[in-house]
Chains A and B, each alone.
Chain A
């Protein structure tokens, strides 16, 4: 048996977009728009991406490397205040294994022609599925991804 472990995480990301809050919010509410940026393309709607944007509604997505495990994302919207906030919970699976459970809070701060978006994610990573193959990727790939993020993340 793999020992069961947990790791908690919280992070906050802020972005400002040069469009009014109504337009920013619509990109989270409209399945066609959201498929473009969240799932990568509008065609994702035909490939298993689905968005039912209402309290109690679900969002699902699938992905993963070719030949690797299928990652499944399942979200349920818990609170929606139009143009102000969206709160949802989601879990992620690697094939059949649940790998994480998270709460995401999206806040929209409209200021005339711009929107400041604040994303807060709080979650728990369930480590039971960890495989030796994943461990072998090791330190270097983590550092490379961190470095890429730090270099590409800009100021």
Chain B
């Protein structure tokens, strides 16, 4: 739920990995088993499972045992307007601080020779 603190740093770290982004993109289409997630990736099941655990620990993905397979799904609860807003805050600061750099670079200054 939203009342839980959102650890965006961990979310970003989790998504910094290309394989994990591929897995999350696949999961946006619907739930998938670990072996289905492994299909497009040149990776062992154990390797995929490790990535799933990273995604699960930051709240992006939930898994449940269904029979003999582990089913993964996007944790939509964690993907609310709140998280998007927080990501937007950071992104807008990034953009602003870039523009600040531009302004500073073309502002003449007495200190410069």
Is B89 at the interface (CB under 8 A from chain A)? yes
Report B9-51 CB contacts with A as 1/0, cut-off 8 Å. Answer: 1011001100001001100100000000000000000000000
| B70 smallest CB distance to A (angstroms) | 20
Question: Is B100 in contact with A27, judged by CB distance below 8 angstroms?
Answer: yes
Is A36 at the interface (CB under 8 A from chain B)? yes
Residues of A within 8 A of B101 (CB): 15, 17
Instruction: Across the interface, name the chain A residue whose C-beta is closest to B79.
Output: A139
Residues of B within 8 A of A9 (CB): 6, 8, 86, 89
| A15 smallest CB distance to B (angstroms) | 5
Residues of B within 8 A of A138 (CB): 76, 79
Question: Is B111 in contact with A146, judged by CB distance below 8 angstroms?
Answer: no
Give CA–CA (A145, B15) in the complex, Å.
11
> With A27-B104, A147-B21 known to touch, is A127 a contact of B111 (CB < 8 Å)?
no
Across the A-B interface, how many residue pairs have beta carbons closer than 8 Å? 128
Residues of A within 8 A of B86 (CB): 7, 9, 11, 125
> With A13-B93, A125-B86, A127-B2 known to touch, is A143 a contact of B103 (CB < 8 Å)?
no
Q: Give the most central of A18, A127, A139, A148: most B CB within 10 Å.
A: A139
Query: Which of the residues A36, A130, A153 comes within 8 Å of B103, measured between beta carbons?
Result: A36
Residues of B within 8 A of A123 (CB): 89
Is B102 at the interface (CB under 8 A from chain A)? yes
Question: Is B16 in contact with A150, judged by CB distance below 8 angstroms?
Answer: yes
Instruction: Across the interface, name the chain A residue whose C-beta is closest to B21.
Output: A147
Residues of B within 8 A of A139 (CB): 28, 74, 76, 79
Is A91 at the interface (CB under 8 A from chain B)? no
Is B3 at the interface (CB under 8 A from chain A)? yes
Residues of B within 8 A of A135 (CB): 80-81
5 more A-B residue pairs beyond the given contacts A6-B3, A140-B28, A143-B15, with a C-beta to C-beta distance below 8 A: A20-B111, A100-B85, A123-B89, A149-B91, A153-B94
